[in-house]
Amino acid sequence: MSKPITALTAMVCLLPGLLLAQQNNYPVWRCGHEFTNQPRPGENCQQVDLPADITMTAPRKRQPQDKPEESPSVVVVPKLDVNSQRQREGHARNILNDELGKLQLRCMQLPANSPELVRCRADEAALRRELARSP
């Protein structure tokens, strides 16, 4: 058999399947603002005629998730030198102390019972809490 005849035969065999695929075998129902092909009993639903150019697909079935028996992942935390860690913590403490000093000076310059003073005192309390947490 030659190639054109084989191709023509394949097209003729596939044509009925393509025509059947375009037919709307499954009714679509409109229940309020929801469209479904399985209306619930007792709902006020109306059947909707769909145009021929809409393709309907079946919902995907979820594949069961097979969880492989794996060992839990291990997080590798690099070891830090104790002296360098203490230096970092001391540096952070110095920064917090400097900020606290600047904030206290600013709070002293604000008028009594002002909203800015209330906010300043709250910020000061937050810095003191942070300093209390540091080692």
Residue range 74-98, pLDDT digits in tens: 888 778 788 888 899 999 999 999 9
Q: CB of 35 within 8 A of CB of 55?
A: no
Helices marked H in 3-78: 3-22
| Domain count of the fold of the chain | 2
First to last CA, the chain: 88
**Angle at CA of residue 70, ends 68 and 74, nearest 5°:** 150
Q: Is 61 left (phi over 0), alpha (psi -120 to 50) or beta?
A: beta
**Angle at CA of residue 48, ends 52 and 44, nearest 5°:** 165
Give domain status of residue 72, yes or no.
Answer: no
| Residue in the block written with tokens 């309390």 | 125
Give domain status of residue 12, yes or no.
Answer: yes
Give domain status of residue 87, yes or no.
Answer: yes
- Average pLDDT over every residue of 118-126: 93
Helices and strands of the chain, counted as H and E runs: 3, 3
Give domain status of residue 57, yes or no.
Answer: no
Give the mean pLDDT of the chain: 80
**Enclosing domain of residue 31:** 7-48
- Residues near 90 by Cβ (< 8 Å), separated by ≥ 6? none
Say whether both 43 and 86 belong to one domain: no
Give domain status of residue 94, yes or no.
Answer: yes
Give domain status of residue 63, yes or no.
Answer: no
Give domain status of residue 61, yes or no.
Answer: no
- Average pLDDT over every residue of 34-51: 84
In this predicted model, what pLDDT tens digit does every residue of 11-40 receive, in sequence order? 666 666 655 555 556 788 888 888 888 888
